[in-house]
Structure 1
Amino acid sequence: MEVSQILYMNGGDGETSYANNSLIQKGVMLKAKPILEESIVRLSLSSNFPECVKLADFGCSSGPNTLLLAWEIMDIIHATCQRVNRKAPMFQVFLNDLPGNDFNTIFRTLPSFYEKLKKEKGSEFERACFIAGMPGTFYGRLFPDCFLHFVHSSYSLHWRSQVPEGLVGESGVPLNKGNIHIAKTSPHNVLKAYSDLFEKDFTLFLRSRSQEMVPGGHMVLVVMGSTGKADSSSNQSCSIWELLGITLNDMVLEGKVDEAKLDSFNLPYYAPTIEEAKAVIQTEGTFNIHRFETFEVDWDCNIDDDMSNKGYSFGKPGRGKYVAMSIRVVTESMLVGHFGKEIMDDLFERFSSKIEEYLEVEEGKHMNLIISMTKNG
Structure 2
Amino acid sequence: MKASLTGMEGDGFYNRHSSLQAAAIQKVLPLWRKVVDSTPTPGPDVRLVDYGSSQGHNSMAPVSIAIETLRGRVDAPASMEVVHTDLPGNDFTSLFRAVLENENSYLRLAPDVFPSAIGRSYFEQILPDESVDLGWNSWTLQWMSRNPAEDPDFLYGYMSPSPAVRAAVARQLDEDWRNFLGLRARELKRNGRLFCLFSSKAHTGSGWEWIVEAAWSCVLEMRRQGKLSSDETLKLNLPLGPRDLDDIERPFREGGGAFAGLTLEHAEIVSSLDPFWIDYQKTGDAKQFGLGWKNFMKAVFAPVIKAAIDPRKDAASLCDELLDRFAERVSLSPRDTQHYVAVAVVRKGAAS
- 2:78 pairs with 68, 89, 103, which one? 89
| Contact 1:27-1:302 at 8 Å conserved across structures | no
Helix, strand or coil at the partner of 1:159: coil
Amino acid of the structure 1 residue aligned with 2:97: R
Helix, strand or coil at the partner of 2:118: strand
The offset of 1:133, in angstroms, is: 0.3
Shift in CA distance, 110/195, structure 1 to aligned 2, threshold 3 Å: same
**TM-score in terms of structure 2 length:** 0.88
Determine the C-alpha separation between the residues in 1 that align with 2:67 and 2:277: 25
Q: List alignment gaps of at least 5 residues for structure 1.
A: 168-175, 308-312
Alignment of 1:44-63 (within 5 A): 46=40, 49-63=42-56
Q: Does residue 184 of structure 2 align to residue 209 of structure 1?
A: yes
The offset of 1:367, in angstroms, is: 0.8
Match of 1:279 in 2: 250
Alignment of 1:291-330 (within 5 A): 291-300=266-275, 304=279, 315-330=285-300
The offset of 1:57, in angstroms, is: 0.8
Helix, strand or coil at the partner of 2:237: coil
Determine the C-alpha separation between the residues in 2 that align with 1:191 and 1:131: 40
Determine the C-alpha separation between the residues in 2 that align with 1:54 and 1:67: 16
Q: Deviations over 1:248-273 (max 9, x none)?
A: 01111222222332134310111111
The offset of 1:329, in angstroms, is: 0.7
Match of 1:36 in 2: 32
Match of 2:303 in 1: 333
Match of 2:312 in 1: none
The offset of 1:352, in angstroms, is: 1.1
Q: Deviations over 1:197-216 (max 9, x none)?
A: 11111111000000111111
Determine the C-alpha separation between the residues in 2 that align with 1:208 and 1:118: 28
The offset of 1:50, in angstroms, is: 2.5
- 1:101 pairs with 75, 78, 90, which one? 90
Give the number of aligned pairs: 340
The offset of 1:304, in angstroms, is: 4.3
Match of 1:160 in 2: 144
Deviates more, 1:98-107 or 1:66-75: 66-75
Helix, strand or coil at the partner of 1:261: helix
Shift in CA distance, 185/224, structure 1 to aligned 2, threshold 3 Å: closer
Helix, strand or coil at the partner of 2:272: strand
Helix, strand or coil at the partner of 1:257: coil
Q: Does residue 207 of structure 2 align to residue 236 of structure 1?
A: yes
Determine the C-alpha separation between the residues in 2 that align with 1:246 and 1:33: 36
Helix, strand or coil at the partner of 1:133: strand
Determine the C-alpha separation between the residues in 2 that align with 1:147 and 1:158: 26
RMSD: 2.6
Helix, strand or coil at the partner of 2:339: strand
| Contact 1:146-1:215 at 8 Å conserved across structures | yes
Shift in CA distance, 302/211, structure 1 to aligned 2, threshold 3 Å: farther
| Contact 2:153-2:161 at 8 Å conserved across structures | no
Q: Deviations over 1:133-171 (max 9, x none)?
A: 011000120111111011110000111111114x3xxxx
Helix, strand or coil at the partner of 2:133: strand
Shift in CA distance, 321/215, structure 1 to aligned 2, threshold 3 Å: same
Shift in CA distance, 114/23, structure 1 to aligned 2, threshold 3 Å: closer
